[in-house]
Amino acid sequence: MKPYKKIGQIQVAEELVHFVENEALIGLDLDKEQFWANFENLIEDLSPINHQLLSKRVHLQEQINQWYQNNREFEAKAYQEFLTEIGYLEKRVADFQITTENVDEEIARQAGPQLVVPLDNARYAINAANARWGSLYDALYGTNVLDESEDTKITAQYNPLRGQKVVEYTKQFLDQVIPLEQGSHSEAKQYQITAGTLSITLENGQVTKLKDPEKFVGYAGEVDDPKTILVQNHQLHFEIKIDRHDEIGQLDQAGIKDIILESALTTIMDCEDSVAAVDTTDKVHIYRNWLGLMNGSLTSTFTKNGVQLLRQLNQDRHYKRGNGEEFSLSGRSLMFIRNVGHLMTSNLILDKVGQEVPEGIIDAVITSLIAKHSIIGLSELKNSKERSIYIVKPKMHGSEEVEFANRMFNMVEDMLEMERYTLKIGVMDEERRTSVNLINCIEKVKERIAFINTGFLDRTGDEIFTSMELGPVVPKAEMKQEKWLQAYERSNVKSGLKTGFQQRAQIGKGMWAMPDEMKAMLELKIDHPKSGANTAWVPSPTAATLHAIHYHQINVVDVQTNKREDNHSYLEEILTPPISEDRAWDKQTIQNELDNNVQGILGYVVRWVHHGVGCSKVPDIHNVGLMEDRATLRISSQHIANWLHHQICTEEQVIDTFYRMAKVVDEQNCNDKTYRVLVHNGERSNAFEAALELVLKGREQPNGYTEPILHRYRLKEKEEHLQKQSI
Ligand SMILES: CC(=O)SCCNC(=O)CCNC(=O)[C@H](O)C(C)(C)COP(=O)(O)OP(=O)(O)OC[C@H]1O[C@@H](n2cnc3c(N)ncnc32)[C@H](O)[C@@H]1OP(=O)(O)O
Ligand SMILES: O=CC(=O)O
Ligand SMILES: [Mg+2]
């Protein structure tokens, strides 16, 4: 147990006290004693409400379970009436528009990718902040986007034939998004600035310009020898980089060495489902990284390909307009911070009766305190030009819980002496009770909402859990085609547009969870801007650069304008549970489903529990690397729990599958010297126990969440490790 310091009536872990008083509060005009006194009041006011909200979740679910048991023949109308009666479905508020002010351009006006990154990993987090700009040449060369033959494979040295394909693809992209009045970019020999505008000399000597000359917005270098041409299309920028002496540039008749796309407009620094933070040390580590991002001091030193590297936040980018006037664009992605939800408590702080305090309350106070460093502008590397702080709040159920978050944000603003609505909120639409009451949820935070986002992964987990009693759900891969999911996605866009999100806030779509499948992403993720979303999640900087292409191809403003007319009522479809009509799957189908889910669960949980890694790339049974986090774990564990409950498989079969897949996962990790096998000489590791419990006790977990079990086993693992060290 960590030593605590008694402050007023509460007890605060020494490590947190030290961090707050010697790091987070330094440079801020806040009184230390007052800070702790206010924090204590806030805990006293809010903790009981937090607990009541959680009890309500349990109570509603008990009633839903009972209803399903009494109504085996599902009838949509009766179901809706029942949900209204118990207060799950809320009475819709009168029409309103959100009024959020001081929202940065990256959120309100620009449409583009949103990157997510685990905040416990400084190397990745800085990389993410810098992923505002990414090389299109690298993204195309280094992934599977381009069709590959023997000749165009990635080789140890640069492969010019592959490079040629990259250039061809890029020139087509340029012709598509910044076409020339005559000819093609592939015929361009020279780009220069003439009389304040971009002129292009073609190989036949003809001089032409852009079809839309206003897309040229700036340059760097000399007018007759520019090093950078900055263009803008659909509010999104990119740079054409020219250097005739460069290894790549010299192969191009116009000297183009790269195209740098504005990529991750925004990034979510994640303290939630992609990290494994179970104690004070873990939490303070994350808070310290956030502080480094907010005051611009975060660095990371690491060795890559035998070279020692220092990574730090990028500076802004400087240009001249056609008339010579200087201007700059941010070199970094606009950062959000994702706090934890309302569920867990933390021993970082104990209240006056010695109970752990809700972790979401602690996150709200500490992450906002830290972000104040950025808004008072101590660092040159400002995050928000509008002096706003962007907090993503996940896993809220219904409008009461959103109202609670709003109340908490008000109190935090007051205690940190911030103007009202400095704290903006991003509401994850990822629990069913929020989806069906989304307009009411938005209304509760209408002065501060900066995004809604369909977290379809958590949402799928919640869907399975909520309808657990009704029947067996469809196989996991079929979930995306289910009525509820399609309707939920559309309804989310509709709700955002009806309440005035256009040009004011983000309507976001979910994660691309196959980090290496970039060709498929380029083919499919264009559906997100097409659906009216002005952002969507990507798992890596490379994915951000490739997904940015979609926002050049689709003008989201136009799409949203058309979608504003959507008057379809989606409620009944959203409330159609994904229960299989035909439960007669053959033995092999059932076993494959189990194998796939169990492999993913074990592959993820072993790294969570034994190594403290909260987001991993884990191969599925077809050997496709999948991004796994707590939300995907929630789906897989709930899925098996559901099939077990409805006797699609037996407990014996599940346990047997766990043992078999443990060997597969051990084999996948055999090159990792720090790896400990899941079962050793019949002795099950903590990770194995945790993974199995997530399934066998899946129905008992609050809303199917995985946090309680993961935390318990990770703490046990840490404790055992300490004991071993002290022997
Ligand atoms: C349902 C939800 O809540 S989704 C939200 C939670 N999910 C996430 O946050 C996903 C974030 N992504 C990741 O954590 C990682 O990309 C993973 C775990 C999926 C894969 O990680 P790895 O196997 O290490 O990736 P891989 O080896 O292909 O690439 C590593 C390189 O890419 C970079 N990278 C990978 N992901 C990211 C990221 N999200 N942000 C910034 N950089 C990243 C790393 O910095 C590293 O580059 P470096 O060597 O120059 O530092
Ligand atoms: O948080 C995202 C999700 O899909 O869940
Ligand atoms: Mg989620």
Q: What confidence tens digit (pLDDT) does each residue in 97-124 have?
A: 999 999 999 999 999 999 999 999 999 9
Give the residue among 280, 395, 295 at the shortest CA–CA distance from 335: 295
Q: Are 455 and 429 in contact (CB under 8 A)?
A: yes
Cα separation, 88 vs 496, whole angstroms: 21
What is the distance in angstroms between the CA of the first residue and the CA of the last residue of the chain? 18
Known binding residue 231? Answer is no
Q: Whose CA is nearest to atom 3 of ligand 2?
A: 455
Nearest CA to 65 among 86, 47, 50, 44?
86
293 closest CA partner among 371, 359, 207: 371
Going from the Cα of 430 to the center of ligand 2, the distance in angstroms, rounded, reads: 6
CA of 539 to the centre of ligand 1 (A): 6
124 alpha carbon, closest ligand: 1
Domains in the chain, CATH or no CATH each: 36-132+265-301+334-574 (3.20.20.360), 133-262 (2.170.170.11), 587-726 (1.20.1220.12)
Which residue of 124, 456, 706 sits with most ligand 1 atoms within 8 Å of its CB, as the best mutation to test the pocket? Answer: 124
From 10, 380, 31, 418, select the one nearest 20 (Cα to Cα): 31
Residue 457 near ligand 2, beta carbon < 6 Å: yes
Predicted confidence (pLDDT) per residue in 180-222, tens digit: 999 999 999 999 999 999 999 999 999 999 999 999 999 999 9
Mutate to test the pocket of ligand 2, among 435, 511, 630 (most ligand atoms within 8 A of CB): 511
Decide if 598 contacts 658 (C-beta within 8 A): yes
Q: 335: Cβ below 6 Å to ligand 2?
A: no
Residue 94: CB atoms within 10 Å: 5
Ligand 2 atom nearest 510 alpha carbon: 4
Calculate the CA 193 to chain-centre distance.
40
Cβ density class 160-196: b for 16+ within 10 Å, e for less: eebbebbbebbbebbeebbebeebebbbbebbbbeee
**To test the ligand 1 pocket, which listed residue (130, 627, 628, 635) has its Cβ within 8 A of the most ligand atoms?**
627
Please tell me whether 430 is known to bind a ligand.
yes
At residue 380, the pLDDT reads 83
pLDDT at 2: 66
Indicate if 316 belongs to the active site: no
Could you give the ipTM of this predicted complex? Answer: 0.98
* pTM greater than 0.95: yes
Cβ of 455 closer than 6 Å to ligand 2, yes or no, is yes
Ligand 1 neighbours, Cβ below 6 Å, are 115-118, 123-124, 127-128, 131, 270, 273-274, 304, 455, 457, 511, 515, 539-541, 615-617, 627, 629, 631
Q: Considering the candidates 629, 630, 634, 714, report the single residue annotated as catalytic.
A: 629
* Radius of gyration (C-alpha) of the chain in whole angstroms: 26
DSSP code string of 497-547: HHTT-TTTSEEEE-----TT-HHHHHHHTTHHHHTT-SEEEESSHHHHHHH
Distance 243 CA to ligand 1 centre (A): 31
**DSSP conformation letters of 60-110:** HHHHHHHHHHH--S--HHHHHHHHHHTTSSPPPPPP------S--HHHHT-
How far away, in angstroms, is 364 Cα from ligand 1 center?
25
Minimum CA distance residue for ligand 1 atom 12:
539
pLDDT of residue 377: 77
Contact in structure between 688 and 623 (CB atoms under 8 Å): no
CB 458 less than 6 A from any atom of ligand 2: yes
Number of H helices, E strands in the chain: 24, 28
Pairwise CA distance, residues 282 & 269, whole Å: 15
Q: How far is CA 415 from CA 11, 75, 156, 450, in A?
A: 19, 49, 57, 22
pLDDT < 50 regions, the chain: none
Ligand 2 and 174: CB distance under 6 A: no
Spatial distance between the Cα atoms of 223 and 225, rounded to a whole number of angstroms: 6
Is there a contact between 337 and 271 (Cβ–Cβ < 8 Å)? Answer: yes
Ligand 3 centre from 495 Cα, in Å?
A: 19
Q: Which of 317, 332, 338, 433 is catalytic?
A: 338
Q: CA–CA separation, 167 vs 331, rounded Å?
A: 25
- CA 130 to centroid of ligand 1, rounded, Å: 13
pLDDT of residue 379: 80
* pLDDT tens per residue across span 313-335: 999 999 999 999 999 999 999 99
| 338 is a catalytic site residue | yes
Closest residue CA from atom 2 of ligand 2: 455
**Sign of the alpha-carbon torsion through 272, 276, 280, 285:** negative
Confirm if 455 and 510 have CB atoms less than 8 A apart: yes
CA–CA distance, 300 with 286 (Å, rounded to integer): 14
Kindly state the DSSP code that residue 313 receives in the 8-state scheme: P
